[in-house]
Every structure is written in structure tokens, then in C-alpha cells.
Amino acid sequence: MSRAAPARAPASEEQGVSPLSAAPIGVVPILWNNADLPELTPAVPYSQVLDEIARLGYEGTQLGVGFPRGAELAGELARRGLRLAEVYTALPCDRSGPRPDAGKVAREALAELHAAGGDVLVVALALSEDRDAWVGRADAAPGLTDAGLRALGALLDELGADAAELGHAIAFHNHGGTYVETPEELDRLAAVTSPSSVGLCLDVGHATLGGGDAPSMIRRHADRVVHVHLKDVAAGPLEALRAGRLSGFVAALRARIFVPLGCGVLDLPAVLEALADARYRSWLMVEQDTSHEPPSEAAAIGRRVLGAMLRCQGIWAQEAR
């Protein structure tokens, strides 16, 4: 990363210290201004979003819709004691690999990250129509060709080198409705990219959508996971996707497939245990794409549940010694 991640303030009331105590906690601000479904909630001014993120005890944020850019954003964050944890970008891609403009899209995002003094460039693939119909049951879906996979790997290695020159990490994000959704697809991508250039941003919610077991995936890629998105998955919409009664990622979002941490099928304690065993020290990003609750309320739930689980993990770690 370009700079040291902020240290979490010690909590005197905690009875134990989690092995993840050095990992800063951030939030993905899609709850306030949804990039996929902007009509879900009224637009919220960026200043209010940042005020609420700081008030809720988060230490950083992803670049959000409507945020200022560059030095202006860096100043707004610094005034609130926040950091720019990441910039997220989705690369256009079909079965034959990244589209011709994919590199330009990624490098523009890298420039945004660097200009604002951020940490991690998070790269995913954009939704594609032929994969979107298979979201949640992608084992039988059409995948990248071998040549397409190699082309994607080569582009990511190039981006990783570019990011490193500027002092940043690059982390590839698994995503439902794209050509890297299932555990096997993530394994294949990891195999064709350089461990020294390309890290992984494991999104545990999308890992669940893709039929994976997030703790097992963390353990398998322990040396590559450099960034984490923590989101929980509602049992009902997930079962409907897998049964074919619900189709498409946007339809799943409208069904509120992502829920506050602790409310869905995700085994959050097991995820945190796997990260602790991997000696993970980077950002823990709380994310929930859509919510029945007001944005700040949903973000508060995620932050408090994660904090409680980390306190419990600290107690368990003490008892085990």
C-alpha cells in the first residue's frame, strides 16, 4: 500500500485483543448513493456521507458516487480523520478476455487513487449479459476461454506493476454475474497472475453467491488476500437464485440479497478466524449494496456487529493461550 494504514484506537472496555486488531475498518458507501440502482434512495451529499462514516467509527471509505476527487477529497477525508481505503473499478470483458478499453478504464481509476492519496486499487470485471443470467448458480455458466484468461492475467500483471511504481497495491475482486465468480474461476485467475504484482480482494458475499466457502477460500489464498469486503447474504434470495426463480444480479439486489453482517448465511466468526490465521492486517471493508434500513442505520449495524465479533475473537484468543 502507498502509506501505512491507520491504527485503530484502542478500546479500553475490550476484554481481549483480536489478532486482527491492526486491521483498519472501512466502509463501501454504496449504501448512501447506489452506483447500480441510484433510484433506490434520494441522493445524499458527499459531505453528509463522510460525516456519517466518521461518526459511526469507520476509519476509511471506498471512493463513492458524488465524492470530490484528488487533493480536495484528501482534504475532506483528513478533516474527518478518514482515509481513502480504495478505488473500485470494473473492467469490460467478454469470453475472449478484456475489451480494448479495459486498460484505459483501470489506469484512470489508478490515477484517481493516486491523486487522492488512497491505498488499494480494487479491480473486478463488469457484469456481462451471458454470465448475469447465471449469477448464484454459475458452475454451469460459460467461462473465459483459455486465451481470454491469459489475456486478463497479463493485463492485471501490467496494472500491478503500474500500481507498484506509484506505491499502491492492486487487488482483484471476485464478483457475481462476471467471468470470475466461482472459487474455481478465482483459482484459475490466481494461477495466471504474479503473486508479487496482483493481490486478491476477497468479497465474502460474492464468494457465497459463487458457491464458495469464504473461510476456505481465504485459507487457500492466504498469501494473496490483501483486501477484504465483508458482506452477508440473505438466505431467501440466495435460494431463489440457485433455484432459478430469481435471475440476474440487479434483480437480486432489488430482492435485498445482501443484508447487514450477522443477519444472513455468512459465518463471520469463521471468516475472521481464517483472516487472523493468515496474519491479515489490511483493510476490513464493510459492504451492503442495498438495505431496507436507512443508509446510516445499516452502516451502523455492520460496524457494530464487526466490532462485537472482533471483541469476541480477542476473548477467544486469550482463552486459548
3 confidence band (pLDDT: 50, 70, 90): very low
pLDDT value at position 321?
Answer: 57
- Three cell numbers written together for 101: 478499453
Rounded to whole angstroms, the Cα distance separating 128 from 130 reads 6
pLDDT value at position 59?
Answer: 98
In the DSSP assignment, the letter for residue 6 is P
pLDDT of 8 above 60: no
Residue reference for cell 485467475: 189
CA angle 311, 81, 40 (to 5 degrees): 80
Strands 225-230 and 199-203: parallel
pLDDT in tens, 214-259: 999 999 999 999 999 999 999 999 999 999 999 999 999 999 999 9
Q: Beta strands of the chain (E only): which ranges?
A: 25-27, 60-62, 83-91, 93-94, 97-98, 120-125, 169-173, 199-203, 225-230, 232-233, 258-259, 284-286
Share of the chain above pLDDT 90, in %: 85
**Measured CA distances, 253 to 18, 244, 285 (Å):** 32, 15, 19
- Three cell numbers written together for 169: 497495491
Residue 174: alpha-carbon gap to chain centroid: 9
30 confidence band (pLDDT: 50, 70, 90): very high
- Give the lowest-confidence range in 29-38, 136-145, 296-305: 29-38
pLDDT value at position 318?
Answer: 57
Q: N- to C-terminal Cα distance for the chain?
A: 32
pLDDT value at position 83?
Answer: 98
- Give the lowest-confidence range in 15-19, 177-181, 200-204, 290-294: 15-19
Per the CB < 8 A criterion, the answer to whether 183 and 219 are in contact is no
Strands 93-94 and 97-98: antiparallel
Helices (H) and strands (E) in the chain, counts: 12, 12
Residue 85: alpha-carbon gap to chain centroid: 11
pLDDT of 4 above 60: no
pLDDT value at position 309?
Answer: 94
Radius of gyration over alpha carbons of the chain, in Å?
18
pLDDT value at position 246?
Answer: 94
Rounded to whole angstroms, the Cα distance separating 234 from 264 reads 5
In the predicted model, what is the mean pLDDT of the chain?
92
More confident residue, 5 or 56: 56
pLDDT in tens, 196-210: 999 999 999 999 999
Rounded to whole angstroms, the Cα distance separating 38 from 148 reads 32
Q: What is the mean pLDDT of residues 282-290?
A: 96
Domains of the chain and any CATH numbers: 25-320 (3.20.20.150)
pLDDT value at position 89?
Answer: 98
pLDDT value at position 211?
Answer: 96
